[in-house]
Amino acid sequence: MRSKFGLFMGTLKLQVGMSGTFDLEIGKVYGAWLVQKKLSYGQKYQCLCTACGQVVKNIRKYDIYHQKTRMCKKCSVQSTKSSHGMSDTPEYNTWVHMIQRCHNPNNKDYARYGGRGIEVCDIWRESFESFYMCVGPKPTPEHTIERLDYNVSYEPGNVTWATRTVQNRNKSDNQKVTVDGVTKSVSQWAADPRCTVSHFTLYKRIARGWLEEHGAEFTLFSPSQAGLDVD
Ligand SMILES: [Zn+2]
């Protein structure tokens, strides 16, 4: 009985010893962290941030090893801000405010955005560059970022720069389009099998005044021959 128990404990110890308790090598570099010493308590280490020279204590071994942390907080903020060199631009400002109203419950506009389930998609939330690559430069100071479908989040294909005039027009006509006597929202038409252009293109055509110029015909739902969808 006793020996069996002892054997069991021995096996358990061996397993823990093999997988759970490893040490980081002193002097090794992970990201910008240079491991300086193992601290006497817990699984934490003291490291030097080689980007700025600051010594930081109490960093979890797990976080260093798996590179959940790669440098000190100050350097991390600095590198996110400066890598794209656009932190003082209107586009960056737009990006910050978009995330704030969707994901910060203390923001004054949260109720109309995050509170209604409107989010900023993960890839844009994590990276200003991804957002900027998708939407491009803000055409004029009068332009603001607009969601094409008001019930859909900030995500690729649902966002464009627009002026107040276009936004108000979109809101006031609520994007209803009548074709052959059938009235549907633009989202519904985009889902129609006869529609061979993207939801986004359909919205853009309507926002540009396609209905006034061409009327609501099925050409609205097919790739343009007139070169009207230049962007
Ligand atoms: Zn640093």
- The model's pLDDT over 58-81, given as tens digits with 9 standing for 90+, comes to 999 999 998 888 888 887 777 666
Ligand 1 centre distance from Cα of residue 99 (Å): 26
Ligand 1 centre distance from Cα of residue 86 (Å): 21
pLDDT at residue 45, as a whole number: 95
Q: What domains are there in the chain, each with its CATH number?
A: 4-75 (2.30.30), 87-221 (no CATH)
Ligand 1 centre distance from Cα of residue 95 (Å): 25
Q: How confident is the model at residue 95 (pLDDT cuts 50, 70, 90)?
A: very high
Q: How confident is the model at residue 14 (pLDDT cuts 50, 70, 90)?
A: very low
Per DSSP, the chain holds a count of helices (H) and strands (E) of 10, 8
Ligand 1 centre distance from Cα of residue 57 (Å): 13
Give the Cβ contact number of residue 72 at 10 Å: 22
Mean pLDDT (the chain, rounded)? 79
pLDDT at residue 24, as a whole number: 92
Whether the per-residue pLDDT at 8 is higher than 70: the answer is: no
pLDDT at residue 68, as a whole number: 85
Ligand 1 centre distance from Cα of residue 42 (Å): 24
Ligand 1 centre distance from Cα of residue 22 (Å): 26
Ligand 1 centre distance from Cα of residue 188 (Å): 51
pLDDT at residue 180, as a whole number: 80
Ligand 1 centre distance from Cα of residue 52 (Å): 4
> Given the structure tokens 């926002």, which residue do they identify?
207
Backbone angles phi, psi at 120, to 5 degrees: -105, 130
- pTM of the prediction? 0.46
Answer for the pair 179, 189: CB distance below 8 angstroms, yes or no.
Answer: yes
- Long-range contacts of residues 109-117, Cβ cutoff 8 Å, at least 24 apart: 117/153
Ligand 1 centre distance from Cα of residue 83 (Å): 15
For 125, the enclosing helix (H) or strand (E) is: helix 122-126
pLDDT tens, 126-172? 888 889 988 999 988 888 998 888 788 999 988 989 876 655 555 54
